[in-house]
Structure 1
Amino acid sequence: MRKSRLTALTTGVLAATMLLSACSGGTSSESGKDGEKQITFMFRGNEDERKAYETAIAEYTEETGVKVKVISTTPDEYSTKLKAAITGRQVPDVFYIDPGSVQAYANGGVIMDITDYVEKSGFDIADIWEYGVDSYRYDGKVQGQGGIYALPKDIGPFSFGYNKTMFEEAGIPLPDKDKPYTWDEFVKVAQELTKDSDGDGELDQWGTGLNVTWNIQALAWSNGADWISEDGKTVTVDTPEMAEALQFFADLSNKYETTPSIAEAQTLDTYQRWMKGEIGFFPVGPWDVSTYAELDFDWDLIPYPAGKTGESATWIGTLGIAASASTKHPQEAVDLITYLSANETAQQSLVDAGIQIPNLKSVASEWVKDTSTKPENKQEFLDIAETYGRALPANTTYSAEWYDEFFTNIQPVLDGKVTAAEYLKEAQPKMQAFLDEANQQAEQASAGN
């Protein structure tokens, strides 16, 4: 079975089915009692996010008088339920969208171009992170420019965390919050942290516990490698720089033994071990902060270790909020979008819940000064947002299959049975075939728009 990403992109065939249904009309807009307006908002998230939205939406209703019917799902259910709503012509007035779905939904008339509404709304769009806004721009051919089809609910700088308590107990100097480890330095510290701390003859503490799907990007980019050419036409993984990065990742387990073994990971996965205080280094996204607030150890953020470029690298996620092209209440739908994305009160509710960084730069500049809540080094999140964070490789391609193929048969590399260079040489032509197909789908969709 092909590996799918959390932000899986809509494939051409499925998109076509959905878009035909959507274009035939239908919306879940309703009228409340006594003719009052009511719109629907569909989103995904955990309990903390649900409570934060209940607060923000109650404030929106109080300000505007517009009722909002909330449809919440778990992250795993969201994509399936949204597609079912579109196919059944019950498109929510307002809903979450990932960047990878923008082209298909815009070309098929599922989401509306909200540019005019946004420009007339009066808020300063320049105060929202540029990466977030540009992720939802599309001019019919190129994503990242043109009309606005959604506003960011958030941006998610994928940062690197470390167990500060573990360092202090081991007598190891704390990492520099401004200067990344080199790979050699990182390995040395990770090995020092990997040990049998209770003397029973078995390891119970490890330096690392990284997942290849979400952490190989930081290593590859910092080593001068990439997945795709700038023009989006050519897969570029079969290079010495990418091979070095992928091999280094595999070596953390097989050569340096700083990661729990397969058997140890089956007993307790690395996320659970991090939560128990058994892992020294682990990734941290803003969505983790509310959960990590309950940890029994002290932790903070640092830059990812850097490869031959000497510069740290990582990716930024984002979720957007879009309006249905078939909504009966377009003004109210966009008003809700702008409220959730750009209203300071609403933003504070979401930030206080520990599920995201502020969407507004002006708010973030004050938020970063708060040392009373974790992480202490909030500046690392902002550094990623402002300077060196990148979009995931398939965010602006019509389909993610080419990128997913990179991970499909990667396990032998992680097990040390195949070298990274051998694997990449075999993977590149397969990935290129999927990318060619995605670009062809994009051209057809654009021509038919």
Structure 2
Amino acid sequence: MAALTACGSDNNGGSASPANNSGSASTSASASAGASKEKVEISFMGHAEPNEKEIFTKLIKSFEEKYPNVKVNYTSVPPAEYDQKLTTLSAAGKMPDIFYTSGPAFYRYAEAGTILDIQQYLDQTDLFNPDNVWKQALDRYRYDGSQLGQGDLYGLPKDVGPWALAYNKELFDKAGVAYPPAEAGKWTWDDYLKAAQAITEDTNGDGKFDIYGAANFPLEGAVWANGGDYVDYATGTVKIDSPEFAEAMQWVADLTLKHHVAPSPEDVQAMNAYSRFIAGKIGMFPMGPWDQPAFWDLPFGWDLAAWPSSPKTGETSTWLGSMGFVISSKTNHPQEAFDLASFLSLDPDGQKQNMELGQAVPNLIDMATNDYMNNGKAPEHKEVFLDIVKEIGHPPVEYGSKNTEWLDTFNQDASKVWTGQMSAADWLKQEAPKLQELYDKGNK
């Protein structure tokens, strides 16, 4: 952090205009790389687990080879500490030149003018072909001065994060259950439950389950698939007290409370669900593309399936996450910061390396639908990821909020449902007015 702070202090405070810094935006990647021989240092901060940190260290080395006049001071902060660290640096006027952000933080920083409008740079580089980048990712980083999803780009997608359903083939084989289908709509919640019941097992006869059929079914996906939602962002109305929401939440809770096919909160305290899955003790578990490097080393076969559909609506849904690369509006080196962001987000060389290292589904559509689909590595049914990106994925609940105190409160208070203290319907009816007050306070 000392290196980051020093670099941030040296670089911050300058004009954000390209004309007053390191030259106008380049017309090509090669022109940009050779446009200036001045040696400059830029700071880049992200958050990562060890696998991702290692991958980004390699990517930055490749960037520095392509742009030899630029030295990148990379700092990786543990995910749980990242937001607070960024807030502290912002308050001190020492923001990194380029950093990760998404959702509410992106909204706040764009509104406050903390991050740079990069549209002028994108308009002048041939790296950017908007028809070849997932629209669902780009639109997360648009801001027109009043709302998200429209206007100029203030960031570039680090990734698209389809939250998919992974399954352990060996546990399905042992239970004599057919693998879940990759095509959405071919499996319902009832099918999911039956498979989970067949897989769940007490292997040593001590009266406690050692293998569970499922874990961590995402509440958001269940709610959206069942026709419910958390908030109507157009009107600012909290909508959790609907029958559709209650039905979905109770179904997810009952996987543990009634059917006992998923670990209880007490079980998770002893061993979290992720650790159980990689130990071969959970049949179905959610994963994102960033899990691929770790999953490639698993001692059992695994693949992806579509999330099951709600029997009520026939629809399936899950969330599509994304982090973005944004640039401080106070940087002295906006061109070099943009070069790094575009290398990591748009450059075919950077995207190819990122894909091969297993970090993400490529942002470039042609690479995702060709090279990625045919790279010979697990999962076999990669189209599940692409289907989520193209059709099924839904922005995370917090997207559209500037202040998420209402959602944090929801997640904390929801333990009353997960532990069986209250039914979903009763708790949601009680919780809705409280969340509406919090939402209004922080977002209107």
TM-score (norm 1): 0.87
What is the identity, as a one-letter code, of the residue corresponding to 1:191? Q
Gapped regions of structure 2 (runs ≥ 5): 1-8, 23-36
The residue number in structure 2 matching 1:360 is 364
Q: C-alpha deviations, 1:189-227, integer Å up to 9, x for none?
A: 11111112344543211111216xxx1011111111111
The residue number in structure 2 matching 1:13 is none
Picking from 39, 44, 47, the partner of 2:42 is: 39
Picking from 414, 420, 423, the partner of 1:419 is: 423
1 CA distance for matches of 2:213 and 2:391?
Answer: 28
What is the identity, as a one-letter code, of the residue corresponding to 2:190? D
Distance apart, 1:403 and its partner CA = 2.1
The 5-angstrom pairing of residues 327-366 of structure 1 reads 327-366=331-370
The residue number in structure 2 matching 1:164 is 169
Q: Residues 73 and 262 of structure 1: is their aligned pair in 2 closer, same or farther, counting only changes over 3 Å? A: closer
What is the identity, as a one-letter code, of the residue corresponding to 1:390? H
The residue number in structure 2 matching 1:155 is 160
Q: Is 1:272–2:238 an aligned residue pair?
A: no
The residue number in structure 1 matching 2:200 is 194
Q: C-alpha deviations, 1:389-433, integer Å up to 9, x for none?
A: 010122112111222222221112112221100011011111111
The answer (yes or no) to whether the contact 1:49–1:350 under 8 Å persists in 2 is no
1:43 is paired with a residue of what secondary structure? strand
The residue number in structure 2 matching 1:258 is 261
2 CA distance for matches of 1:154 and 1:371?
Answer: 18
The residue number in structure 1 matching 2:32 is none
Picking from 237, 240, 243, the partner of 1:240 is: 243
Q: Is 1:183–2:189 an aligned residue pair?
A: yes
1 CA distance for matches of 2:59 and 2:192?
Answer: 42
Distance apart, 1:180 and its partner CA = 4.1
2 CA distance for matches of 1:430 and 1:374?
Answer: 45
Gapped regions of structure 1 (runs ≥ 5): 1-21, 441-449
What is the identity, as a one-letter code, of the residue corresponding to 1:367? D
The answer (yes or no) to whether the contact 1:103–1:143 under 8 Å persists in 2 is yes
Q: C-alpha deviations, 1:59-85, integer Å up to 9, x for none?
A: 322323222222222222222222222
2 CA distance for matches of 1:403 and 1:313?
Answer: 20
2 CA distance for matches of 1:107 and 1:333?
Answer: 20
The residue number in structure 1 matching 2:107 is 103
The residue number in structure 1 matching 2:390 is 386
Q: Residues 47 and 260 of structure 1: is their aligned pair in 2 closer, same or farther, counting only changes over 3 Å? A: closer
Q: C-alpha deviations, 1:108-162, integer Å up to 9, x for none?
A: 2211111111111122122111111110111111111011110011110011111
What is the identity, as a one-letter code, of the residue corresponding to 1:46? E
The 5-angstrom pairing of residues 200-215 of structure 1 reads 200-210=206-216, 215=218
What is the identity, as a one-letter code, of the residue corresponding to 1:423? W
Q: C-alpha deviations, 1:271-326, integer Å up to 9, x for none?
A: 21111111111001111111111212111111112112212100011110011101
2 CA distance for matches of 1:266 and 1:404?
Answer: 20
Q: Which runs of 4+ in 1 moved over 6 A?
A: none
Picking from 106, 111, 129, the partner of 1:124 is: 129
Picking from 429, 433, 436, the partner of 1:432 is: 436
Distance apart, 1:35 and its partner CA = 5.2
Q: Is 1:407–2:411 an aligned residue pair?
A: yes
2 CA distance for matches of 1:205 and 1:26?
Answer: 56
The answer (yes or no) to whether the contact 1:358–1:367 under 8 Å persists in 2 is no
2 CA distance for matches of 1:358 and 1:160?
Answer: 19
Picking from 212, 222, 227, the partner of 1:224 is: 227
1:135 is paired with a residue of what secondary structure? helix
Q: Is 1:88–2:85 an aligned residue pair?
A: no
The residue number in structure 1 matching 2:287 is 284
The answer (yes or no) to whether the contact 2:13–2:332 under 8 Å persists in 1 is no
TM-score (norm 2): 0.88
Q: Is 1:57–2:71 an aligned residue pair?
A: no
1 CA distance for matches of 2:122 and 2:164?
Answer: 31
What is the identity, as a one-letter code, of the residue corresponding to 2:221? A
Q: Residues 41 and 388 of structure 1: is their aligned pair in 2 closer, same or farther, counting only changes over 3 Å? A: same
Aligned residues: 412
2 CA distance for matches of 1:140 and 1:53?
Answer: 32
The residue number in structure 2 matching 1:397 is 401
2 CA distance for matches of 1:262 and 1:439?
Answer: 32
RMSD value, Cα: 2.2
1:154 is paired with a residue of what secondary structure? coil
The answer (yes or no) to whether the contact 1:26–1:91 under 8 Å persists in 2 is no
The residue number in structure 2 matching 1:26 is 13
Q: Residues 232 and 393 of structure 1: is their aligned pair in 2 closer, same or farther, counting only changes over 3 Å? A: farther
2 CA distance for matches of 1:154 and 1:261?
Answer: 32
Q: State the identity as a percent.
A: 37
